[in-house]
Structure 1
Amino acid sequence: MKFSEKWLRTWIDPELSTSELCDQLTGAGLEVDAVETMADEFTGVVVGEIVELHVHPKAERLSVCTVFDGSEKFSVVCGAPNAREGLKTAFAKVGSELPDGMRIKRAKLRGVQSDGMLCSAKELGISDDHDGIMEISDALSVGSELREALDLDDISIDLDLTPNRGDCFSVRGIAREVAVLNRMPIDEPVVADVAVSTDTIFPVEVRASSACPKYLGRVIEGVDVAQVAPGWMVERLERSGLRSIDPVVDVTNYVLLELGQPLHAFDLDSLEDRIVVRTAEQGEKLTLLDGNSIDLDEESLVIAHGGGPLAIAGVMGGAESGVTETTTAVFLECAFFSPETIMGTSRRYGVQTDASQRYERGVDSALQADAMARATELLVEIVGGNPGPVVEVIDEDSMPRSMKLTLRAARLEDLLGVKIEDEEVFGILDRLGLRPRDVPDGWEITTPSHRFDIAIEEDLVEEVCRIYGYDAIPTRTAHAALPLKPSGRDGIDPAALRTLMTHLGYNEAITYSFISSDRHELFSPNVQAQVIENPMSKEQSVMRTSLIPGLVDAVVGNIARQSTSIRMFEYGQCFSGDADNLTQGFRLAAVLWGLKDPENWAQRSKNVDFFDIKGDVERIVAVGGRNATFRASTLPGFHPGQSADICIDDNVVGTVGCLSPQLVGSLGVAGEIFVFECDVAPLLLKRQLHHEEVSRYPSIRRDLALVVNESVSSESVEKLIRESVGDLLVEFRLFDVYKGKGIDSIDKSLAVGLIFQDTAKTLTDSDVGTLVEKAVVALEQEVGARLR
C-alpha cells in the first residue's frame, strides 16, 4: 500500500517526523518497505512563463526565451525542443542551487546573455524525464515557489502489509491505526449529500448472492469526460502508484485509495436490459480493459447484461463497456464480493489489479454506501452530471456477521509474559473500535465490520500487544533447573517402531493374512493353524501363524521384477489355535536379500549376511533400553548353522537367521534370504533409563586369546567373564575367531578385548591383572578354556 504522507496528514496529523511516523507504523505491524521523496533538494526555482520565444541568432537548435516570473522578465537561452510561448515551466533564477550542487550564474551562450535556466524534471530530481523542460499546469501561479506549488516536500510511503490486514489498504485504514497509536481523533472528509436529480435507474439482478451479498449501482447522466481531474487528485494518485487516466476512472481510483472500496464505472449507453451478477456460462468470452481476451469458465463470477459478460467481478472491466471520450452517462458500481470468489477468479486468469488485491484480502462490508456517496460527490464536482437513485440489492443471510469474543486477563498475561493494567487494555480495545465490555476475569468485544481478521482470542492478544508496543514488553532471560530424571514414558508407540524400521532402510509390506497349508507346515509345523472353511483359493486356506511366509513370497515377486536389493518389514497380526481357542497377537518381521549397498565404483559389491540382520535386531531392541541376546537353535525352514532365538532378559521373544538353502532353491531364488520375526509386546515395553555420570578416569584394555571347544559360544564366554570380574568390565569385544593350524579340529580360538574402568579411581595394572586372572580361572573351570 503506497500513499502520500501529506494526504494522510489531512486525516490525522500527529506531532511526529516522517521517520518517527514510519517507525511507529512498523512497530504496530504495518511494515514500512520504502520511503520516497518527491524531489531532491533545490532552492530558488519558481514557476515561470515563456512570454516570447525567438530562434538564437547563431544556433538554430537554441531558443532565446523571455521568461516572466510574476514581477520581472528575463532573457534565457534554452535548447529544449518543447519550449514555446505560453508554456509554464520550472525557472531557476540567477543564484538558484540545483540538486547536483550547481549554482546558476548569469552567462553568455553563443554571444547571447542568459539570466537563468529552464529546467527538466531530471535536473530537479523529480523524475528521470529529460526529453525537455518541465510543462507545468496552467492552474499554478506564475512566480510561486516550485517546491510549494508542486508540493515537492511530500513523502511517498510504501507499506508491506500482511494478507490479514486488508483494512489498511486505504488512507482511511492507515489513519485509523495512527489515531489508535497516538490517542487522537480522525478528521474524516465530510461527504456532501448529493441530491438525486434524475429518476433514471438501471435494474440490477444478483443470481449469485453468496459470492456477491451486496451490490449498489447508480446512474449519473450528463457527465463531461473532457474535463480534467484536479491537480491535487492527480498528484495523490501518482504518489500512490496510480497514473491519471480520465476524470471518471481517476475518481474511482481515488475512492479506492482513500476508503479502500473498489468501484467501477460502465458507459451507460453500452448496457442492455439490466445488470446481472452471475457465474459465467460455457463458451463465453470477454475482452478486458487491458486488451487481453479470455475464455471464461463456469466458476467465474461476472457482471453481465443482456448482451453477455461486461466484467470479471471484482477484478477488471471489459473493453466494450468502459468509459471513453464519447461517454455522456455512466452506471457506477459499488459492491461487496466474497474474498474466496475473487481470489479464485484472479488466480485462474493470472490477472492482479488494485481492486482484486483488496477484495482478496477483504473489504469492509459496511463501506459501500459511503463509497458510493463519496464517488458521486467527486464526479459531480469534476465532470458534472445528474445522479439518479441508488439501486441496492442485498442478501442479509450471506453478509458477514460481527463476532463476540472474550479476552481473558489471565490469558493475556500468560501469552505476553507481562501484566498490563486493566484500564490500559480496555482503552486499547476501545480505541480499536472493538466496543469492549467488562466481564468477569476479562473483556467481551464485538468485532467491527472492517476488522474481519479478528476471529479468536489470540487475535485480541496480538492487537493489545502491538498497540501497547512490542518494545514496551521487557526482555527476560529464561531460567530453569535442568535435573536429570528418568524418562516418564513406559512404552513405545507402535508408530515409532514402524518409523525406526524405515530409518534402518526397510520398506513396509502388507501381505495377506491367509497362506497355504504348505507354507504353514514349512515354517510353523509345531503351531496349530485355523483352517478356513471356504477359502478363496488353496494358497489362502489357513490363517497365518507367522509373517515370514508372506514376506518370502514378496521377496520372490520383487526378484522377478529385477530387484537387486530387498529390505522389507511387516507389522501385523498372527493367529494360532482353532475356532474354539483362537489367539492372536501383533508380530514384527523383516527380510533381507541381495546387495548390502548399491553398486558403485568406490567399493566392491557385497551381499547382506547374518550379521546385518542381527545388528538390526539389536538396534530395534535397544530402543526400549534393553539388550538382545542370541541363542543358537535349530528352526524349521532355517539354515542349521545360521539361526538363533532372540532373547530379552533371558526370555525367547523371536527368531533370526538364514533360510535353508533347500528352501531358497525351491523358490528359484539365487543367494541367501535372511529373516527375523518376534513378538511386538516385549519390544513396546521400555525400561526406565537412569543417567549415570561418565567416569573421569582412564580405561585399561586387555586382550585374551582363548582356546575353547567348538561348541562353546562367545555369549557364554562373555557371561562367565562378566560374572567373575563384576561391573569394572565396561565393554567386551570379540574381534577374532580362528580355526586352523595349531588348533585341534574340535576347538576354536576366540580373541576378545576386555575394557576395564572405575568411576571412583584410576585402575592400576595390578588391579586389572587380578581381574583378568579371575576371569581366566573361571573360564578354565567352567568351559575348559585355556590361553593360547
Structure 2
Amino acid sequence: MKFSENWLRELVEIKADRAALAHALTMAGLEVEELTALGEGLAGVVVAEIVAAEKHPEADRLQVCMVDAGQAGLLQIVCGAPNARVGIKVPLAMVGASLPGGPSRPSMASGALGLLPGGMSIKAAKLRGVESFGMLCSAKELGIDTDASGLLELPPDALVGLSLADYMGLPDASIELKLTPNRPDCLGLVGLAHDVAALFGSAVKVPAQVAAAVTSEACRGIRLEAGKDAPRYLGRVVEGIDPAARTPLWLAERLRRSGLRPISAMVDIANYVMLELGQPLHAFDNDTLQGDIVVRHARAGETLKLLDGSTAKLDEGFVLIADEHKPLAVAGVMGGFDSRVTDATRNIFLESAHFAPSAIMGRARKLGLHTDASHRFERGVDPELPRRALERATELVLAIAGGHAGPVLVAEHVADLPRPAAVTLRRARLKRVLGADVADAEVARIFTALGMRVEVIADGWQITAPSSRFDIEREEDLIEEVARIFGYDNIPTHSPAGALALAIEPEARINELALREQLAARGYHEAVNLSFLSAELLARWGFTERLVPLANPLSADLAIMRPSLLPGLIEALRHNRARQQERVRMFELARVFAAGDPPVETPSVAVVACGDARAEQWGEPSRQLDFHDLKGDLDALIAWGGEPQRWSVHADGLPAWLHPGRGARVVRDGETVGYLGAVHPQLARTLDLGADVHVLELTLEPLLARRLPLARPVPRFPAVRRDIAMDLPEGVNWSQIEQAVRGSLGPWLQELRLFDRYSGKGVDAGRKSLAMGLILQDASRTLTDDDADRCVREAVAALEQTCKAKLRG
C-alpha cells in the first residue's frame, strides 16, 4: 500500500513529523517498507508559460524559448526537451534556485547549472553562444517522479508566476507500507487514518458522504445468481459525461504519489476512490450493455477478452459480471475489453460490489494476473463500503466530467453478508497477557478511535468491530490491538515468574525421546521428511486406498498425505546412495494418514537399512545386512517394553511391497501392528535401489507400552535345563512353537532357547530339525528329575499335537 503523506494528513491530524509518523506506523504493525521524499528544496521554481520558441542557430536539438514567469519582461531559456512548444505551462527554475534531482538532458548541462552535493544550482549561462536565464524542468529534475522524457506539463489553468511547491502541494512524501494479509482495512487511506488517529490521540476528519442528486431516470436491472459468492451489487448510470474531461492535477498527483499512473478521468476516479476508501470500482460504457446486469458463475470453457488485451479462459469457479448476452468482467479481477470506457464514451455504468474473499482468492493468479482489485477482494473488503464508494465516485464524476446521475441500483442477499460479532475482552486477561496496567479509559479510547463499538461490562468490555475489521474474531485479537496502539515500548519487561508444573512421565509408557536415543545407539540416523508425497510414487508402492489428497497442494509431487513413512525414507536412502553412501541406516518417528471423517492420524516408526551389517572394521569379515539383523533390532526394542511374549512374527499376510520369502508380519496380542523384511525385488528395480534394502514399520503406541516394574526376590532355588530336538514341517514358524511350549508348561518355563537348526541328510524333504533348550524353575522348591522329565513329555506332546512335530533320537 503506497500513499501520499499529505493526503493522509488531510484525513487525520498527525502531531508528529515524518520520521515519527513512519516509526509509529512500523511499531503498530504497519511496517513502512519505503519512504520517498518528493519536491524538497523547490524554492525558486515557479509556474511559467512558453510564449515563443525558435530553433537554436547552432544546435538542431535545442530551442530558444521566451518564457513568461509572471515578472516584468520575458526570460530567454535554452531548452532541449522534445515537448517544449508554445502555449504550454511548465516548471521554471529561476537563476539561483537549487534543484534536488540530477540533470536529465545532458545537452543542457554546459553552463546552465552547476552540480552541488544536494543536486544542482541554476546559473545564467551561454549554451552554444545563446544566453539562458534559468531552466525548464522535468519531473525527475524536480525530484517528484522518475519521468525524464520531457518537460513536466502543467494544466492550462495554472497561474503563471505561482510557486510550484504551492501549486502542486509540495513538499510531500510517498510512503509504502508492507501490510500483513489480515489488515485489508488499511488498503484504503480512510481505514489507515483510523489507526493513525488511535496512535496520535486525534480524530479522523473524513466528512460524511452526501448522496448525489438524481437528475436522470436511467437505470438497469441487476440479477444476483452467484449465491453467497456475490451477495451485494450496486450500480448507477451516469449520462452525458464529457469524454474529453481531464483529470485535475490534485487527483492525478495523489495517484502518482500512490504509485499509479493517471490514465483517463473515469479510470482515475475509480482508482482514487479505491485508494481513498479501499473499495474497488469499475466503469462500463453503458451503451455497450444489453439488458440486465447478471452476476453469475462462469460456464465451463467461457472466455473473455480483458482490458489488458489478454483472453481469460474461465471455469465454473470464476464469478462473472455479464449482461443478458455476454460476459463483461471477471468479478474482483479485471474488466472486459469490449465494454471499456473509451474517449468516445458519454454514458457510463458505475459498479460497486461486495464479493466473498473465497470466491476471488487465487482467481487472478490462475489467469496469470495480479490486480489492485484482486489484491483487496482476496483479503476482504468491507461489505458496507459499496454504497459509500459509489456515491463518492459519482460526486467526482459529476465534478470532473459533468453528466446526470441516475438512481442507485441495489441487489443484495443480506443473509449471505458477513456480520461482525461482539467479542469479550476481560480486564484481568488483558493485564495478564501484557504484563502491564492499561487504564480503562485508555482501552476505551483505543477501541473507539479504531472505529469499534465499546460496551463496558463487569469484568471488562464487550467490543464490536466495524464490518471492515475481518481480523477481530477472538479475545487475543483485541489484546493485540491494545498492545500495538498502547505501544510495545510502553509495556514493561519482566522476567518470567512462577512455578512450572512438571509433567509426570507414566511408568507404563516409554518416552519417545528415549526410543529415538535407543535407535541412534543402534547406529541409525534420524530423518525428517515432508508429510506429502506424489500419487505416482505411492502407486509404485501399491498404496491406492484410503489416501488423503490435499485440496490445495504446493505441487503435484506433494499432493497426497503420506499413508506410510517408508516411501519418504526410501527416497532419502536413494538420495544418500547416489552420493557414495553404501551403508545407510535411518529411522523416522512421525504420523501417517488414512482417509476418514476426519482423516485418521497414526503415530508410527519406520526403519530402513542397506549395505554391510557392521561398519567397516578389521575384527571380522564384512557381511551384508539381512533379515535377522533387522529382526534383532526389533527384538531389542520389544524387549525394552518388558513383555516380549506378547509379540510374534508371521510369514503370511504380507503387503505387495515386501519380499514374499524374506518378510514378516509383526503381531502384538493377535493384532497386526507392522511389517518387517526386504523390499520386494520388483519394487527395488522400479525405484532403482541397486541393492537389498530392509525395512521395518510399526504403529508406535504398542512399541511404547511398557510393563510396570515389579520387584521380585532373587530365586532361591536352582533352574533345570533340558534340551530336545524336534523334527517339524518347514512351514511351522518359531512363534507357533514357542506358543505351544509355553502354553503346556505354564509358569515353570522361564525361557525357551533355540540353539540349532538343521535340514539335510537324515531329515525328510520339506522338514527341519530344531534343537531347543527348556529353562525350568519354580520359586517355591527345587525341581526334581521327575518334574523335569514330565515337562519334557508335555512339551513334546504339545508340539506333536499342534505342530505335527516328532522327537528326534
Give the TM-score, by structure 1 length.
0.67
Question: In 1, distance between residues paired with 2:462 and 2:243?
Answer: 51
Equivalence for 1:402: 420
Q: Which secondary structure state, in structure 2, belongs to the residue aligned with residue 32 of structure 1?
A: strand
Secondary structure of residue in 2 paired with 1:103? strand
Quick check: 1:69 aligned with 2:169?
no
Match of 2:508 among 491, 498, 501: 491
Alignment partner, residue 87 of structure 1:
88
Contact preservation (8 Å) 1:552, 1:591: no
Q: Determine the structure 1 residue equivalent to 2:782.
A: none
Q: State whether structure 2 residue 175 is matched by structure 1 residue 157.
A: yes
Distance in 1 (CA, whole Å) between partners of 2:134 and 2:77 is 6
C-alpha deviation, 1:62, in angstroms: 2.7
Q: Which runs of 4+ in 1 moved over 6 A?
A: 480-483, 493-502, 506-510, 586-590, 605-608, 619-627, 631-639, 650-659
Picking from 654, 666, 670, the partner of 1:570 is: 666
C-alpha distance in structure 1 between counterparts of 2:722 and 2:449, whole Å: 81
1:275-424 to 2 correspondences below 5 Å: 275-424=293-442
Structure 1 counterpart of 2:98, one-letter code:
E
Residue 507 of structure 2 aligns with an amino acid whose one-letter code is D
Change (3 A) 1:657 1:431: farther
C-alpha change, 1:482 and 1:139, in structure 2 (3 Å) is same
Amino acid at match of 2:658: N
Q: Residue 237 of structure 1 aligns to a residue in which SS? A: helix
Question: Of 646, 650, 661, which residue of structure 2 is paired with 1:550?
Answer: 650
Task: Return the match for 2:229 from 211, 215, 219.
Answer: 211
Q: In the alignment, is the contact (CA less than 8 A) between 1:551 and 1:590 conserved in 2? A: no
- The one-letter amino acid paired with 1:229 is T
Alpha-carbon offset, residue 58 of structure 1 = 3.1
Aligned to 1:78: 79
Take 1:654 and 1:311, find their aligned partners in 2: how far apart are those partners? 81
| Partner SS, residue 122 of structure 1 | helix
- Cα distance in 1 between the residues matched to 2:433 and 2:150: 61
- Does the CA contact (< 8 Å) of 1:225 and 1:327 recur in 2? yes
Task: Describe how 1:323-722 pairs up with structure 2 within 5 A.
Answer: 323-479=341-497, 487-492=504-509, 505=586, 548-551=648-651, 554=654, 558-559=658-659, 570=666, 572-574=668-670, 660=757, 662=759
Structure 2 distance, partners of 1:292, 1:270, is 20
Q: Partners in 2 of 1:336 and 1:477 — Cα distance? A: 48
Structure 2 residue aligned with 1:123, among 138, 141, 166?
A: 141
CA distance, structure 2, for counterparts of residue 278 and residue 590 of structure 1: 54
Name the structure 1 match of 2:55. 55
Match of 2:209 in 1: 191
RMSD over equivalenced CA pairs, Å = 4.3
1:571 deviation in Å?
A: 5.3
Q: Distance in 2 between matches of 1:441 and 1:422?
A: 11
Contact 2:659 2:678 in 1 (8 A): no
* 1:180–1:571 distance in 2 versus 1, CA, 3 Å: farther
Contact 1:548–1:589 under 8 Å retained in 2: no
Q: Where does structure 1 lack aligned partners over 5 or more consecutive residues?
A: 511-544, 575-585, 599-604, 613-618, 670-788
| Equivalent residue, structure 2, for 1:735 | none
Q: Counterpart of 2:415 in 1: which secondary structure?
A: helix
Please give the residue correspondences for 1:699-778 in structure 2 after superposition, counting only pairs within 5 Å. Answer: none
Contact 1:205 1:275 in 2 (8 A): yes
Structure 2 residue ranges without an equivalent (≥5): 101-114, 527-584, 589-603, 607-644, 685-690, 697-702, 727-731, 767-809
Query: Which residue of the other structure, out of 246, 263, 272, is the alignment partner of 2:264?
Result: 246
* Aligned residues of 1:252 and 1:263 also touching (Cα < 8 A): yes
| DSSP 3-state at the match of 1:265 | strand
Paired residues of 2:186 and 2:192 also in contact (CA < 8 A): yes
What is the CA-CA distance between 1:345 and the residue it aligns to? 2.6
Q: Equivalents in 2 of 1:451, 1:622: separation in Å? A: 52
1:44 Cα deviation from its structure 2 partner: 2.0
| Residue 2 of structure 1: aligned partner | 2
Task: Answer whether contact 1:301 1:345 (CA < 8 A) is retained.
Answer: no
Corresponding residue SS for 2:480: helix
- Please point out which of 179, 195, 210 is paired with 2:197: 179
Match in the other structure for 1:20: 20
Distance 1:558 1:633 in 2: 38
Match of 2:537 in 1: none
Q: Tell me the percent identity.
A: 41
Between structure 1 and structure 2, the one with the greater Rg is 1
Tell me the distance in 1 between the aligned counterparts of 2:192 and 2:380. 15
Counterpart contact for 2:139–2:151, Cα < 8 Å: yes
Structure 1 residues 334, 651: CA separation in 2 closer, same or farther (over 3 Å shift)? farther
SS at match of 1:350: coil
Alpha carbons of 1:396 and 1:621: their partners in 2 closer, same or farther (altered >3 Å)? Answer: closer
| 1:276 CA drift (Å) | 0.6
Residue 120 of structure 1 aligns with an amino acid whose one-letter code is S
Letter in structure 1 aligned against 2:187: F
| Distance in 1 separating the partners of 2:149 and 2:673 | 82
Describe the shift of the 1:415–1:555 C-alpha distance in structure 2 as closer, same or farther (beyond 3 A): same
- Shift in alpha-carbon separation, 1:184–1:571, aligned structure 2, 3 A: farther
User: How far has the Cα of 1:446 moved from its partner?
Assistant: 2.0
Q: Which amino acid in the other structure matches residue 558 of structure 1?
A: L
For residue 107 of structure 1, report the CA deviation from its aligned partner: 2.2
Cα gap change, 1:83/1:651 in structure 2, threshold over 3 Å: closer, same or farther?
A: farther
Aligned partner of 1:76: which letter? I
Worse-superposed segment, 81-90 or 292-301 = 81-90
Is contact 1:509–1:551 with CA below 8 Å preserved after alignment? no
Alpha-carbon contact 2:47-2:90 (below 8 Å) kept: yes
Q: Distance in 2 between matches of 1:651 and 1:43?
A: 108
- Separation in 1, partners of 2:83, 2:339: 36
Residue correspondences, number: 597
Confirm or deny: 8 A CA contact 2:319 2:330 kept in the other structure: yes
In structure 2, relative to structure 1, the CA distance for the partners of 1:201 and 1:653 (3 Å cut) is farther
Q: Secondary structure at the match of 1:266?
A: strand
1:237–1:243 contact (8 Å) kept in structure 2? yes
Distance in 2, Cα, partners of 1:653 & 1:224: 104
Task: After superposition, give the CA deviation of every residue in 1:171-202 in whole Å (9 maximum; x if it has no partner).
Answer: 10011111122222211145343211111210
Q: CA deviation at 1:290?
A: 0.8
AA at the equivalent of 2:351 = E
**AA at the equivalent of 1:6:** N
Residue type of the partner of 1:74? L
Q: Amino acid of the residue matched to residue 292 of structure 1?
A: S
CA shift, 1:555, in A, is 10
Measured at CA, do residues 243 and 58 of structure 1 come closer, stay the same or move farther in structure 2, by a change above 3 Å?
closer
| Alpha carbons 1:63, 1:79 under 8 Å: kept | yes
Q: Structure 1 residues 548 and 252 mapped into 2: Cα distance closer, same or farther (>3 Å)?
A: same
Q: Which position in structure 2 is the counterpart of 1:36? A: 36
- The letter of the residue matching 1:79 is G
Answer yes or no: is the 8 Å Cα contact 1:509–1:570 preserved in 2.
no
Q: Give yes or no for contact 2:650–2:733 (8 Å, CA) kept in 1.
A: no
* TM-superposed deviation, 1:474: 0.7
Secondary structure at the counterpart of residue 210 of structure 1: helix
- Provide the C-alpha distance between the structure 1 equivalents of 2:457 and 2:295, rounded to a whole number of angstroms: 44
Partner SS state of residue 303, structure 1: strand
**Cα deviation 1:259-303 (Å, max 9, x = unaligned):** 111111111111111101111123321111111102210121111
Q: CA deviation at 1:505?
A: 5.0
